[in-house]
Amino acid sequence: MGEIDYNQWAAAIALRISDEWEGAINFPDDALLLRAYLERSLKNDVNAIKSFIGTGIIESDYFEKI
């Protein structure tokens, strides 16, 4: 995966999904709960992390410097 480790990818994916969730604005505590759950789950599933990278959820160049 290069310099960025899977834990960082898991955190970024969880953040992206929880921020994009339709209820995030009205239920910010629930969005935090969703984010925490997704991050924990993804950290235990490297294949899931790999499957999200390069999709509409998270770009493959997410961590590249601008």
Task: Name the token pair of 26.
Answer: 């009205």
Phi, psi of 54 (to 5 degrees): 90, 15
Report the pLDDT value the prediction gives residue 48, as an integer from 0 to 100. 97
For the chain, what is the mean pLDDT? 93
Contact 4, 63 (CB under 8 A): yes
Q: What percentage of the chain has pLDDT greater than the value 70?
A: 94
Within the chain, residue ranges assigned H as helices are 6-20, 28-43, 46-52
Report the pLDDT value the prediction gives residue 66, as an integer from 0 to 100. 62
What is the mean pLDDT of the segment spanning 37-64? 95
Report the pLDDT value the prediction gives residue 64, as an integer from 0 to 100. 87
- Determine the longest span between alpha carbons in the chain, in angstroms: 37
Report the pLDDT value the prediction gives residue 4, as an integer from 0 to 100. 74
pLDDT band at 65 (very low <50, low <70, confident <90, very high): confident
Count CB atoms within 10 A of the CB of residue 31: 19
